[in-house]
Structure 1
Amino acid sequence: MNNLAISEEWGSSCDGFVTPTGLDLEQAKNFLAQHKIRYVFAQFVDIYGTAKGKAVPVDHLEDIVTDGAGFAGGGVFGLRIPPHGPEYIVVGDLKTLTLLPWSPGYARIMGTGTVGGQPHPIDTRNILQAQIDRLEGRGWVLNTGIEPEFSLLERTADGSVVPLDSTDTLRKPAYDYRGLSRARIFLERVTESLKAIGIDVYQIDHEDANGQYEINFKYSDAMTSADTILLFKMAASEIAHELGAICSFMPKPKTSMTGNGMHIHCSIADKNSRNLFHDPNDRRGLGLSDLAYHFTAGLLEHAKPLTALLAPSVNSYKRLVVGQNASGTTWCPVFIAYGDNNRTAALRTATGRVEVRMGDSGMNPYLAQAAVIAAGLDGIDRKLDPGEPHNVNFYALSRREVVERGIEFLPQSLCEAINELEASDLFRETLGAEFIDEFVTLKRTEWEEYHRHVSDWETNRYLAFF
C-alpha cells in the first residue's frame, strides 16, 4: 500500500505550492529554486486538447519567457505547419507558471504559440483568447464551471478493460459510498495535487457507471478553466499510471457504460464581478436576464455545428444518442432545447447560469469554450429569443412527439456534425477559416478510417449470416 499513499513531500500541506501572482523573472527563479524545481515543462496543446511540450532545465527559464521554446510544427496535429515551414514558438507567460506536485521537481509554463513572431491563428489557446478579447471589449468576462467525468479502469491479462475496483458492480452505482471509498487513494492524490497548486476542488462523486467518477472545481474565467482541465487531466493520468490503472476520458468506453461527459456551466460577469446572467425579476421565473436568454438562444441556433467541437470524436456519438442508451439513462441529451433544471435538454438553466450538456470529456476545453462564446455572442448581438423553456422529460417522449413540439436533434454521427461545422458561416468567421478547414480535414479522415474498419460487431453478426 505504500506506493498508493499521498507523497509526504506535498500531500500533508498545500502551503507554499501556489505560485504567487505577478512574479517577475527573478522572483519566478527564486520561487522555483525554493521548491527544488529542476525542469520546466514548456507547454501547449494540440488541436485535440492534449498536452504537448518540452522539458527545459530550470536554469533556462529565461529563454522560455523571452525567445520562447521552439517546436517543429509539422510534428503536431492541427498546427498546419509543413515540414519545411517555420518554427512554432511558445513564448512562456509567467502568469501560467505552476508546480506539478505529482511530478516532483517539475513545473509547467504555458504561453502564446507564435509563428513568425505573431500569434498562430490555429493554436486553440490563441483561438480562445481571441474570443475572450471580444468579451473584454464589452467589459465582460465569461465564467465557466467545467465538470469532467472519467473512468478509472485497468487492463486485464486477456486484454479486456474493466473497472479498477472489481467490487464496483452495482446496477445503478451513482453516488455509491463503497464505490467512492474504494477509489479514495486515487481520488485523494488527485485532489490534494490540485489543491496544492490552488485549484479549488469542492466535491467528488461516483457517477452513473461502474468505475466512473467526477471531480468538480470552483468556476473561474474561461481561460483559467481550460488551463485547470488540462492540469487535472495531466495529474489524473499520471497518478492512475503510477497505481497501475488507466484514467480514461474516452466519451464512451464500453457499450454497457454511461459515457463521460464534460458539462460547461456559463455566466457572463462585468468588471465588478456582477453576474449579468442573473435577474430575480425574470418573467419566466428562471432567474435569468435578457442577456442570458439571448446567449442561450445563440447556443440553440448554432447547436448542430457546435456539437462537432464539443463532441469531437467518432466515439462521442456512441454516447450522444437519440432514445434509450444501452447503459440505461443517458445524461447527454440530444434535444436542441432548454429547460429549468431539465437534464434531458441540451441546455439546462439554473438561476444566473446556463449549462451546456452535450459535450464530452474528449473535447479540447480551449476550443469548446471559444465556440460557446462565439455562438452566445451571436445570440446577444442579434437579440435572439430562445422561446419558452421545455420542462418535460424528453426521454419519455417518442421521436414523433419531440418533433411535434418543434424540437430538433443534435447530429448523430461525427460525419453529420462535421458537415454542419463546415457549413457554418459563424464559426468560419469567428474561429477562422484556416482553423475550420484543418479541423474538418482531420475529422473527415478520422471518420473515413472508422467507417472502413470492420468491427467485432460486424464479424459476429455477418460472418455466417448470408
Structure 2
Amino acid sequence: MSTSLERVSETAVAEAHQRMAAAGVHTVIAQFVDIHGAAKGTYIPLAHLADIVSPGAGFGSPSIDGTGLPRHGPRAEFYGRGDLSTLKALPWMPGYARIVCEGEVLDEPHDWCARYLLRRQLARLAERGWTLNVGIEPEFCLFHQDAAGRPVPADPADALDKPSYDLKVMARVSDVLHRMMQDLETCGFDVFQIDHEDASGQFELNYHYSDALTAADRFVLFKMAAHHIAEDAGLIFSMMPKPFADRPGNGLHLHLSLRDETGRAVMADADDSHGLSETGRQCVAGLLAHARALTAFHAPSVNSYKRLVVGRSRSGTSWAPAHIAWGDNNRTSVLRTTGGRVEFRLTDGSCNIYLALASAIAAMLDGVTQGMQAPAPNDEDLYAWPDAQFAERGVATLPQTLGDALDALAADDVLVGALGAAFVGGFIDTMRMVWVDYCRSVSDWEYQRYLTWP
C-alpha cells in the first residue's frame, strides 16, 4: 500500500459526479476526524467534487484540535483529500453525500492524521499478506435532557432493574431504531440485530464486519447518522461511556481477525483449546502486554474510567473489564476469544476509532514480531474474585484514571514508535489538558459532601 491515497482519474471523478447527481445530490460533505475522532468537515457543491479529490478541501489548521501544525506559514494549511471510494449519498440528509477525507500538508500525507496512521499500520499487515477484519459493536443511549441538562431515558417507563431485551421499550422507540437500520443499510451496512441493553435507555446495533479501514469509516458514518436521526425525533444520541453511576456503561467491543491472501483465518486453529493459532495467541499476548498503554487510545475520556472500575460496580454486573486477562468466551476479561477471533472489550465510543485500531494493530504485531507467549488463559468469572486473588494469580489492572493511562502510553516505546513520537506526544498533551481541567473542576458530589464538612 502506498503512503498517499491512490490518485484517481478524471473519468472516475466524472462518473462519481454523474452518479451523485442522478441520486439528487447537490452538496458533498468533505468529512475528516479531529484528534478526538469527532466528525469535522465542510459543505462543498457537487460541481466541485473534483476539487475535494485533488488538491482537497482546505481548512485552517489552528481551528482543528490536534493537528500539530503552526498558526502561520505554509504548513498552517490543512487539506482534507477525499477518498472517492467512500462517496455515498446520505438518506437521512436528502441532497447531501459524504466523502471521507485524509489530512495532507504541502501535498504530503500528514502524519498526525488518524486515518493515515491507521493506513500505515494496515500497510505493515499487508507486508505479511494479512488483512485485518473488524466487527464493531456500538452500545449507545437515547435520551432526553432535563432542565439541568442531565440525561433522562427516552422512555420514562424504561426503569426495570434488568432491562436487557425489553421489547416494550423497544416498541416505543421502534421508529427511531428502524430508521437507523434502514438508512444505514442504504449506505451499505448489513445490520443484523438491534437490542435493548442492560441500562435504561441503552441499545446496541450490530452490523457485519468489514476490513479495518472500511469499519472505521463506517463507524464514523454510523455516529453521524444516529445523531441526526435521534435529533429529528427530539432525542439525544449518546455514546458516553458511563452516563449513570448505577447502571452499566456503553462499550464499543472490537472483534478482530486476520486473513491471509488465500482467505485463511490466520488467528484461528480449531484444534487449540481456545480456538487460536500460534499467531492468534501471539496477537493476544501483544494486546495484553500493551493493554495499559492502549487504554489511553481506547478509553480516552475522563468518564471512561467510571466504566472500567475495579471492584463491584454500583450497577452490579458492569460487563466492562478492569483486569488484564483473556479467556474462552469470557466477558469478564479485557479480551474474549470466540470462533477463532478475539473480542477486545476495553474500547468505548469516546475513542477515535482510527487510533484505536491503529494502536491495536501495533500491539498485535509486536506480539507476533517478538514471538510473545500469551499468559495462561483465565476461564473464570473475574467479577467474583476477591481483590487479593488478582495479585495471587498475577492478573494486572487496567489504569483507573485518564492520567494513569496517559502515563502508561508515554512509557510504551512500542506504541510511541509505531504511531510516531511527535504525534503521541501531541495526543498526550491534548488529553492531559482534559484530565487537568477535570481534576480542577468542582462537582456536585463535592458540594454535597464537603460544603459544611467537617
Q: Specify the alignment match of 1:365 in structure 2.
A: 353
Q: Specify the alignment match of 1:133 in structure 2.
A: 123
From the superposition, tell whether residues 158 and 123 of structure 1 become closer, same or farther in structure 2 (CA, over 3 Å): closer
Q: Specify the alignment match of 1:32 in structure 2.
A: 20
**Which of the residues 138, 146, 150 maps onto 1:160?**
150
Q: Does 1:303 align with 2:291?
A: yes
- Equivalent residues of 2:55, 2:107 under 8 A apart: no
- Equivalent residues of 1:23, 1:94 under 8 A apart: no
Q: Return the alpha-carbon distance in structure 2 between the equivalents of residues 128 and 341 of structure 1.
A: 28
Q: Does 1:70 align with 2:58?
A: yes
Q: Specify the alignment match of 1:183 in structure 2.
A: 173
Consecutive unaligned residues in structure 1, runs of 5 or more: 1-21
Instruction: Give the alignment of 1:58-207 within 5 angstroms.
Output: 58-84=46-72, 85-207=75-197
Aligned residues: 443
Instruction: Give the alignment of 1:202-351 within 5 angstroms.
Output: 202-282=192-272, 285-351=273-339
User: 1:91 Cα shift?
Assistant: 1.4
Q: Does 1:50 align with 2:38?
A: yes
- Equivalent residues of 2:62, 2:76 under 8 A apart: no
User: 1:390 Cα shift?
Assistant: 0.4
Q: Specify the alignment match of 2:420 in structure 1.
A: 432
Amino acid at match of 1:368: A
SS of the equivalent of 1:232 reads helix
Amino acid at match of 1:24: A
**Which of the residues 392, 398, 420 maps onto 1:410?**
398
Q: Return the alpha-carbon distance in structure 2 between the equivalents of residues 415 and 343 of structure 1.
A: 26
Consecutive unaligned residues in structure 2, runs of 5 or more: 1-9
SS of the equivalent of 2:76 reads coil
User: 1:158 Cα shift?
Assistant: 4.9
Q: Specify the alignment match of 2:4 in structure 1.
A: none
Q: Does 1:356 align with 2:356?
A: no
Q: Return the alpha-carbon distance in structure 1 between the equivalents of residues 146 and 440 of structure 2.
A: 28
User: 1:23 Cα shift?
Assistant: 8.1
- Once the two structures are superposed, what CA deviation does each residue of 1:394-442 show, in whole Å capped at 9, x if it has no partner? 1111111111011000000000000000111011100011111111001
Task: Give structure 1 regions of 4+ aligned residues with deviation exceeding 6 angstroms.
Answer: none
Q: Does 1:386 align with 2:374?
A: yes
User: 1:183 Cα shift?
Assistant: 1.6
What RMSD, in angstroms, separates the aligned Cα atoms of the two structures? Answer: 1.2
- Equivalent residues of 1:173, 1:206 under 8 A apart: yes
Q: Specify the alignment match of 2:383 in structure 1.
A: 395
TM-score, length-scaled by structure 2:
0.96
- Equivalent residues of 2:154, 2:201 under 8 A apart: yes
TM-score, length-scaled by structure 1:
0.93
Amino acid at match of 2:446: E
User: 1:231 Cα shift?
Assistant: 0.5
Amino acid at match of 1:327: S
Q: Return the alpha-carbon distance in structure 2 between the equivalents of residues 221 and 323 of structure 1.
A: 36
- Once the two structures are superposed, what CA deviation does each residue of 1:177-217 show, in whole Å capped at 9, x if it has no partner? 11222221111111101001111111111101010001011
